[in-house]
Homo-oligomer: A and B are copies of this chain.
Amino acid sequence: MAYPRSLSDLINCFKKLPGIGEKSAERMALSLLDLSEEQVEMFSTAMLTSKNNLHTCPECGHITDKELCDICSDENRNHNVICILEDYKSVFAFEKAGNFNGVYHVLNGLISPIDDVNPEDINIASLISRVESLENPELIIALKSTIEGETTTLYLKKIFENKNVDISRLSYGIPMGTEIDYLDEITLDRALSDRKKISE
């Protein structure tokens, strides 16, 4: 079926977004036409502005439209505690949870020899110099539990272990609210071996 050219172009653009197939892309493109001219213009501009204005914070690697990101420039946060993350999306996830008052360091990748991603390809050098400038640094490694995540975690541990840095990683275990019988064995094994004493 032939959509008008400009419409099929738009549908193809929507299909580039994650989880959007043919059908959803069509529905979105068609409903975009139902928006007012001003709304479509705003949408179109917001896309360009986001893409062009957002850049990497030189301190932590998070995305920002300011010179320094909101988190790095916030003096109420504890700049001695650095949470190490794979990407900026994880920063948003942490900030949504809302209980962390330290700062972040975005690696922008994980060490993966198989994909030829080495320590110098991700933001580790900047992390080292950042940690060196602190007096009592604490590092919290919050990387996923894949081979790449584990490799990177171990690499970071090795770098910082003899440098008077307090270093930890997130706990693994049962996600909140999950049925035990639906859990995969590896998570269950991990939750078992990492079990904690029940405090009063």
By a beta-carbon cutoff of 8 Å, the part of chain A in contact with chain B is 1-7, 9-10, 12-13, 16-20, 24, 26-33, 35, 37, 39-54, 63-66, 69-70, 89, 92, 95-96, 98
Contact = CB atoms under 8 A, between A and B. Distances in A.
16 contacts: A1-B96, A3-B92, A4-B53, A4-B54, A4-B64, A4-B69, A4-B70, A6-B65, A10-B46, A10-B49, A13-B43, A13-B46, A19-B24, A37-B52, A41-B51, A44-B44
Contacts of A41: 48, 51
Query: Which one of A46, A64, A69 has the highest number of Cβ atoms from chain B below 10 Å of its Cβ?
Result: A46
B32 A51 contact: yes
Contact of A18 (B6, B28, B37, B49): B28
A140 to B, nearest CB: 18
Copies of this chain, complex-wide, total: 2
Contact of A16 (B13, B19, B35, B44): B35
A9 B49 contact: yes
Contacts of A69: 4
Given A18-B28, A37-B51, A47-B32, A95 B1 contact: yes
Nearest to A13: B43
A3 B49 CA distance: 14
Contacts of A64: 4
Given A12-B46, A30-B92, A37-B51, 17 more contacts: A1-B95, A2-B70, A4-B65, A6-B50, A6-B53, A7-B65, A10-B50, A13-B46, A13-B47, A16-B39, A17-B28, A17-B32, A19-B27, A33-B50, A33-B54, A37-B52, A41-B51
Contacts of A6: 46, 49-50, 53-54, 65
